[in-house]
Amino acid sequence: MSYWDEALYLPPVLRTLTSLEIDMSVLAAGTVALDSVETPFGKAENILGGSATYITLAARFFSPDIRLIGVIGYDFPEEFVDRLKDAKIDLTGLEVNTSSRTFAWEGKYEYDLNQRDTIATHLNALETFRPQIPEQHRQCNIVCLGNLDPIVQCSVLDQMIDPDFVLCDTMNYWISQAPEKLRETIGRIDCLVVNDSECRQLADEPNLIRAARIIQQMGPKILVIKKGEHGALLFADENVFSVPAYPLENIQDPTGAGDAFMGGLAGFLSSQKEISLDTLKQAVVIGSAVASFTVESFGPDRLFEIDGQAISKRVDAFRELTTIPTPETVRL
Amino acid sequence: MSYWDEALYLPPVLRTLTSLEIDMSVLAAGTVALDSVETPFGKAENILGGSATYITLAARFFSPDIRLIGVIGYDFPEEFVDRLKDAKIDLTGLEVNTSSRTFAWEGKYEYDLNQRDTIATHLNALETFRPQIPEQHRQCNIVCLGNLDPIVQCSVLDQMIDPDFVLCDTMNYWISQAPEKLRETIGRIDCLVVNDSECRQLADEPNLIRAARIIQQMGPKILVIKKGEHGALLFADENVFSVPAYPLENIQDPTGAGDAFMGGLAGFLSSQKEISLDTLKQAVVIGSAVASFTVESFGPDRLFEIDGQAISKRVDAFRELTTIPTPETVRL
């Protein structure tokens, strides 16, 4: 009998959120970018992008108090600022660097959409970005650290006053280039959200389940592994939960799906009374649902179109997709 | 709103099995092999292997009437025959070629176990194998065509008298080398069971969901895609169902997992009164459970050790792994 036969039956409540004066708030620090993306289905230049953008746009469906921490340059279109403001994202923490251009990313996806090639990364305003969290933002329920230099991620945490729950993303570049600082960051968070190859790389272990256990030993008791078209895995203490990707025949642009996933997850958690195994499972499904919309258009367009009802309907479809029927007669 | 939002809610009963005089029977045609396998965790030479072996050993947990169609050579150990007989596999259809050695396969898995390298394939007795289905085996509820030359698969079907349900596996070799004969076979079956790369290759389409739809147009209304560590997808008419792989930290040898998956799936269906969307979903979970045991040891050893109770317990764990909690308070 394997370890798991035991492990899957642990008590469901992991942790209860401390009540804060500021309720249901999410702060997301990350990139705000001008993306140029090419997929087999089209091409778009200098569109709204960045991890903080996708996280906040996804989180806003669940909370009225979504705060963005990031930087833009002098070339960032006013129109994009207006779109974010119209979406009720609090931009008090969006710094404008008037002497630099905005962080820009150019990428291309091959026909199977599983492989992303970065054509160019222009750090621009991001290069000197040292976020100053506005005083009124320092108390916050949920903190999302989007993919950024772990030094910057740590500096955000240094400025926050006792957040209830901290989620963090990273990428292969920081795992290989800044392993010590990244380990410091990971040691301070509650939940790491990475893709499967990053998980294997960070743990230096090819078996994904063992890799997850190794990362949990590094600090975060909760780990979410994003597997693109194969869905996501949640590791919470000793428990495991699996959610598939929503079966989509038409994927326009995968950019931002992982960030929208984390945003939906974080936003949903901020709307709950406690962070338990059950709310975490629901949050991972919600994140998957929001991510599944994101890829249906170029950039974050779909995130501006959908509403809570659309997300709710898709969550029902996830239930349909995964529910194992109870057998009437199993002869074993 | 995508196609899927509608498609996931179709009526559940696909088809009801016609009652046959012979009840709950499964016939599996495939290879019986001597495998030599190397994984990072060990090495084994000339062990019991082959698709028909794994299929029947997995199916036997659900039906007392499991019939193997295959061929062995003069070098096949009597001990292996005894093991299969002890497992109550009907070997009437196991041909012995006294002038040839047994089909032999040598393979090696790299450290991440996702990549299998075939070192050598010695067809031997398989080269001239043209199965003669024993008279008493020609009426059978469920027919499983393990990976074989599609000519041989068709010849098995030619000899069967109106089976209720035919499942078929194939591999990349036949997709590229015998596309026409394979298409003929696929046109005659009810359910194709292939892995994700074979699915993409057969449909010539990188999007897995679209590829599945294309294959369903070729004939089989039911398609099961095996995705290894990422689980399996069931396509049944317009419906989709997803099951993850069981999270295993210790995988000794992945050989035969796909065949055991099909065997468990077919065996379970043979025990049911009807083949409906619900029984198919359950069958895919059962197949995944049996496959998850298979990889825990070299060769089919674990399949000789486990019993219905162990499978049942693991199916419960799958339920735990995938059940989306019903939210108490979701504020969308």
Pairing of strands A232-236, A222-226: antiparallel
Give the tens place of pLDDT for each residue, A121-156.
Answer: 999 999 999 999 999 999 999 999 999 999 999 999
Q: What is the rounded distance in angstroms from the CA atom of residue A144 to the CA atom of residue B115?
A: 35
CB contact under 8 A, A207 and B113: yes
Question: Cβ separation of B325 and A207 shorter than 8 Å?
Answer: no
Residue of B322, B326, B328, B329 best to disrupt the A interface, most CBs of A under 10 A: B322
Q: Give the pLDDT band (50/70/90) at residue B13.
A: very low
Phi/psi of residue A197, nearest 5 degrees: -70, -35
How many Å apart are CA A58 and CA A128, to the nearest integer? 27
| pLDDT above 90: percentage of residues in chain A | 86
Backbone angles phi, psi at B170, to 5 degrees: -155, -175
Write the pLDDT tens digit of every residue in B54-93. 999 999 999 999 999 999 999 999 999 999 999 999 999 9
Cβ atoms A288, A256 nearer than 8 A: no
In the predicted model, what is the mean pLDDT of residues A297-319? 96
The complex scores an ipTM of 0.89
Q: What is the C-alpha separation between B290 and B310, in angstroms, rounded? A: 9
Taking an 8 Å cut-off on Cβ atoms, the answer to whether B206 and A309 are in contact is: no
- Tell if the CB–CB gap between A244 and B251 is shorter than 8 Å: no
Extract the tokens encoding B60.
């036997």
Over the stretch B245-297, which tens digit does the pLDDT of each residue have? Answer: 999 998 999 999 999 999 999 999 999 888 999 999 999 999 999 999 999 99
Give the tokens for residue A214: 């190794």
Q: Give B135's pLDDT tier (boundaries 50, 70, 90).
A: very high
- Terminal-residue alpha carbon distance, chain A: 18
pLDDT mean over A157-186: 96
In the numeric block, which tokens belong to residue B4?
């899927």
Non-local (6+) Cβ contacts of A141 within 8 A are A17, A20, A22, A23, A24, A25, A26, A163, A164, A165, A270
B332/chain A closest Cα distance in angstroms: 5
Within 8 A by CB and 6+ apart from B263, the residues are B26, B28, B54, B55, B56, B57, B58, B59, B144, B287, B290
CB-facing half-sphere around the CA of B291: CA atoms within 13 A: 32
Highest mean pLDDT among A1-5, A325-329, B102-106: B102-106
Whether B131 shows a pLDDT value over 70: the answer reads yes
Predicted local distance difference test score (pLDDT) of residue B115: 80
Establish how many alpha carbons lie within 13 A of residue A118's alpha carbon, considering only the half-sphere containing its beta carbon. Answer: 7
Least CB–CB distance from B317: residue in A8, A111, A311: A8
A328 — pLDDT class (breaks 50, 70, 90): low
